[in-house]
Amino acid sequence: MAVPTEHELRNGDGRSYTVSSVDNAMRLLSALKDRPSLSVKEGAELLGVAPSTAHRLLTTLQGHGFIAQDPRTRRYGPGPALLEVALATLQRVDVRRVAHPHLVALSAAVRETATLGVLEGTTVRFIDSVEGPQLVRVGARTGDQLPAHVTAVGKVLLSALSDVELRRRYLDARLPALTNFTTTSRAVLFDELGQVHSQGFAVSFQQSSVGLCDVAVPVVDPQGNVLAAVGVSAPAARLERRQVTAIVEAARQRVQRIEDELRGPAFQGAG
């Protein structure tokens, strides 16, 4: 149990309580792999403890930055410290290091901003970007976080999830809108993700910001899992639909080189 026994309190022995609390805290963090956020009640039910105990654990994790509370819903989601750990893990597998020179080359080839993003629950975080050379361009997006359903990078990453996982992450039938062009229906989004999965790329026209469009393709790791996505962002006036095919092809060529480099050490180790 997460609550200390009467004997432990009387004798000042908090060792068992401490170990159990750490275990429960890890279980709460692990639960965020399968859902975008967690309420105090859900945490209590998950651990089989009183809501007050779950609340104490959640606030402790919040104090260390591992989770953050939405002031509107009062629910808890991943915090900056947890995201830093995730980014550090990505760095260890070298996806950012390997991808960066290819983002530079892609940006130069299409003359627009190239990005690298990963999925975090129902949001996408841009972990690297290279600005395009044109005077009017999309700025660097490194560190930015947006709802996954409003970006091409996010849609590519979501399309790799199973139907069960998608429904677990998207509990509400209505999705938040950032512009008048944003898809706000979960059903419409899921249909679009099926098409994205089939064609191998995604396009978002002014869904995250009016006047901004983006295209993205997946980056697959040596085990066949979608690890990240490479995107190209541009002002809507320049990214016309007829240009999408050429941009997708250029992005795929660079992603193929990224995947080859990620696969190389694995093949060497297998040998």
Exposure on the CB side of residue 120, measured as CA atoms within 13 A: 24
What H or E segment, with its residue span, contains residue 259? helix 241-270
Per-residue pLDDT at 90? 56
Model pTM? 0.65
The pLDDT tens digits for 174-230 are 999 999 999 999 999 999 999 999 999 999 998 988 888 899 999 998 878 898 999
Domains of the chain: 6-79 (1.10.10.10), 93-270 (3.30.450.40)
For residues 148 and 158, the answer to whether their CB atoms sit within 8 Å is yes
126: tokens are 């841009």
Exposure on the CB side of residue 114, measured as CA atoms within 13 A: 25
Select from 223, 227, 231 the least CA-distant residue to 254.
Answer: 231
The pLDDT tens digits for 91-126 are 445 788 899 999 999 999 999 999 999 998 899 989
Per-residue pLDDT at 221? 84
What H or E segment, with its residue span, contains residue 232? strand 226-235
Per-residue pLDDT at 88? 56
